[in-house]
Amino acid sequence: MINDEIYKNTNTMRDILTAHGFKFSKSMGQNFLVDANIPKKIVQQSNVDSSCGVLEVGPGIGALTSELCNVAGHVTAIELDKRLVPILNNIFGDQENVSIIQGDVLKLDIGKTVEETMSGLSHHVCANLPYNITTPAITAFIDSGVFKSITVMVQREVALRMCAKPGTSDYGAFTVYANYHTTPEILFNVPPECFIPRPKVTSSIIRMEVRDTKLLSSESEKKFFRIVRAAFGQRRKTLVNALYAVFEKTHSKERIAEIVTACGFDVRIRGEVLSIDDFIKLSAMF
């Protein structure tokens, strides 16, 4: 069993880091959890159990890893910082259901890594993501097509964007992407004082259940997201003008206006008020 006491005392954690000559890296977005209640709460609300294999990114010195390995069938922790790997191996080296991999998750073959370390288990993500890779990491998790759920800690503003409603200032292309593939839900917030060093922002835990079936075929999906990106590329423009800026080689502005009105939208509408169903309707007309 893991000695969980090391995660209940901030001074103990600092002593471990000091003993290994570790200094926090701003460029890696390193903020380690020091409130032992938060990892417990994350794991409880992630719905992970012994049938699950969990991918964790940015384990730090293992506060969340420790809670995950108590309930999950297997935990694969990906750590970019080479300085932290010896610490993690020292803590979890005897734990049969934990694999520590040094590497960049954005460069790994996620599907292959998951299959090699979690074969026979359902695949999930549970992580305190480094702030500087939040969007590309979530995109990589979704695009890999291997996970049933993704539970991650992100900046609160990112969580709000992912759960935003059409017509609000937080609503954007990433909102549509996240909700097209998953059903995001903000679980709870985590204040800065729960970390060392303290970040300047509040964090949120968000759980994303991955949809079982796709809303569109692969070809239709490509067109759908091209239209979504175009609509938000210049969000203060009308939808017609925003689409024309991207599709001018194949569609006249008049033709785009006809398509927009044929969908039942006012010709002056902006893309930021369209729902996923609206975008599906629009892409079907192109």
The pLDDT tens digits for 145-190 are 999 999 999 999 999 999 999 999 999 999 999 999 999 999 999 9
Give the residue range(s) of CATH 3.40.50.150 domains in the chain: 4-210
Give the residue range(s) of CATH 1.10.8.100 domains in the chain: 218-285
- What pLDDT does 18 receive? 87
Q: How confident is the model at residue 227 (pLDDT cuts 50, 70, 90)?
A: very high
- What pLDDT does 26 receive? 84
Tens digits of residue pLDDT in 33-57: 989 899 999 999 999 999 999 999 9
Least confident of 28-32, 222-226, 253-257: 28-32
Task: State the Cα–Cα distance between residues 76 and 94, nearest whole angstrom.
Answer: 14
User: What does DSSP assign to residue 108?
Assistant: S
Q: Are 6 and 34 in contact (CB under 8 A)?
A: no
- Mean pLDDT in residue range 118-128: 97
Q: How confident is the model at residue 12 (pLDDT cuts 50, 70, 90)?
A: confident
- Could you tell me the two tokens for 115? 């299959």
User: What does DSSP assign to residue 73?
Assistant: S
At residue 96, the 3 state secondary structure works out as coil
Q: How is 132-147 classified by DSSP, letter by letter?
A: GGHHHHHHHHHHHT--
Helices (H), 164-275: 173-181, 218-233, 239-247, 253-262
Cα dihedral 137→142→145→148 (10° resolution): 110
* Average pLDDT across the chain, whole number: 94
Q: Which fold has domain 218-285?
A: Helicase, Ruva Protein; domain 3 (1.10.8)
- Mean pLDDT in residue range 61-89: 96
* Domain 4-210 annotated CATH 3.40.50.150: yes
Is the pLDDT reported for residue 9 higher than 80?
no
Is the pLDDT reported for residue 95 higher than 90?
yes
Query: Counting beta carbons within 10 angstroms of the beta carbon of residue 54, is it exposed (0 to 12), middle (13 to 18) or buried (19 or more)?
Result: buried
Tens digits of residue pLDDT in 237-265: 999 999 999 999 999 999 999 999 999 99
pTM of the model: 0.93
Q: How confident is the model at residue 65 (pLDDT cuts 50, 70, 90)?
A: very high
Q: How confident is the model at residue 1 (pLDDT cuts 50, 70, 90)?
A: low
Task: State the Cα–Cα distance between residues 10 and 267, nearest whole angstrom.
Answer: 58
Is the pLDDT reported for residue 4 higher than 70?
no
Question: To the nearest whole percent, how much of the chain has pLDDT over 70?
Answer: 98
